[in-house]
Amino acid sequence: MTYSFKEIFLTLQGEGGQAGRVAVFARFAGCNLWSGREQDRATAACTFCDTDFVGTDGENGGKFTTPAAVVAALDAQWGGIDAAEKSVVFTGGEPLLQLDAPLIAAAKAAGYFIAVESNGTIRAPSGIDWLCISPKGENRVHQTSGQELKLVWPQDNVDPAEFADMAFERFYLQAKDPLDQDPAVRAGHTQRVIDYCLTHPQWRMSVQTHKMVGLK
């Protein structure tokens, strides 16, 4: 198995129930819902992605042929931080196209708390400590349990109630960041999330805090 990463960097988790926590972000290249090319966006299964996950040319990106090599790259970013437990977030792109049992085992053996950000279309392997599922449009959710369901909203034809009975510990709504960065559209999405959470206490608001403070 070759693991392809767009980038690997140290930051604070910006979103969801682990927001504010230091972690190595390991962004896998490639996704099953979009090629990543702008000319394909309009016809893709996921159309609002805010992330470049194409290729291996980002910060500390590359192809790694063994789990041990991936863990060495994670450790290089974690550096000398003194902690009882290290922390990694596998994201992408879609991490569950590549994250497998040997890599999970190697990261765990090296002392990592393992978080994953996934679109939910692929069942997750066991051993993940914090699984965040973020459904996309009409794409069927196959992974219906985890620590958090984080729905980016509003999305056309998507009602949060569709997911409310799934086996997640927490339910978040996160305002869809508009591709054109139009402040009025962004404010409108945020207000929709606020209004929904005010009237549906099962749901909490997740804010993309890293974007507010200039963190990657």
Ligand X SMILES: Nc1nc2[nH]cc(C(=O)O)c2c(=O)[nH]1
Ligand Y SMILES: C[S@@+](CC[C@H](N)C(=O)[O-])C[C@H]1O[C@@H](n2cnc3c(N)ncnc32)[C@H](O)[C@@H]1O
Query: Is residue 138 among the annotated active site residues?
Result: no
Binding site for ligand X (CB under 6 A): 11-15, 25, 51, 91, 117, 210, 215-216
Residue 198 tokens read as 């005010």
Which is the catalytic residue, given 40, 50, 100, 162? 50
* 46 makes contact with ligand SF4 (CB under 6 A): yes
Residue 34 binding partner per list ligand X, ligand SF4, ligand Y, none, with a CB distance cut-off of 5 to 8 Å that depends on partner kind: ligand SF4
Give strand pairing partners of 133: 118, 149
Residue 93 counted as an annotated binding residue:
yes
Smallest CA-to-CA distance from 135 within 148, 126, 127 is with: 148
- CB nearer to ligand Y: pick between 7 and 60: 7
Beta-sheet pairing, 167-175 with 86-91: unpaired
Active site (annotated) includes residue 25? yes
Query: 177 is in the binding site of which of ligand X, ligand Y, ligand SF4, none (Cβ under 5 to 8 A by kind)?
Result: ligand Y
For the question of residue 199 being annotated catalytic, the response is no
Residue type, 27: R
Start-to-end CA span in the chain (Å): 28
Residue at 164: amino acid letter = A
Note if 142 is an active site residue. Answer: no
Look at residue 13 and give the partner it binds from ligand X, ligand SF4, ligand Y, none, a contact being a CB closer than 5 to 8 Å depending on partner kind: ligand X
Token readout for 72 is: 């060495």
Regarding 60 and contact with ligand SF4 (CB under 6 A), the answer is no
The CA distances from residue 68 to 1, 54, 72, 98, 109, in Å, are 12, 23, 6, 15, 10
1 with 100: CB under 8 angstroms? yes
For the window 107-146, what string marks contact with ligand Y as x by the rule CB under 6 A?
Answer: ----------xxx--------------x------------
Does 148 interact with ligand Y (rule: CB under 6 A)?
no
Q: Is 46 annotated as a binding residue?
A: yes
Half-sphere exposure of 4 (CA within 13 A, CB side): 11
Among the listed residues 145, 127, 144, 65, the one whose alpha carbon sits nearest the alpha carbon of residue 90 = 127
Name the residues annotated as catalytic: 25, 31, 46, 49-51, 117, 210
Binding-site residues for [4Fe-4S] cluster: 31, 46, 49
For ligand SF4, the binding residues (CB under 6 A) are 31, 33-34, 46, 49, 51, 53, 92-94, 119, 136
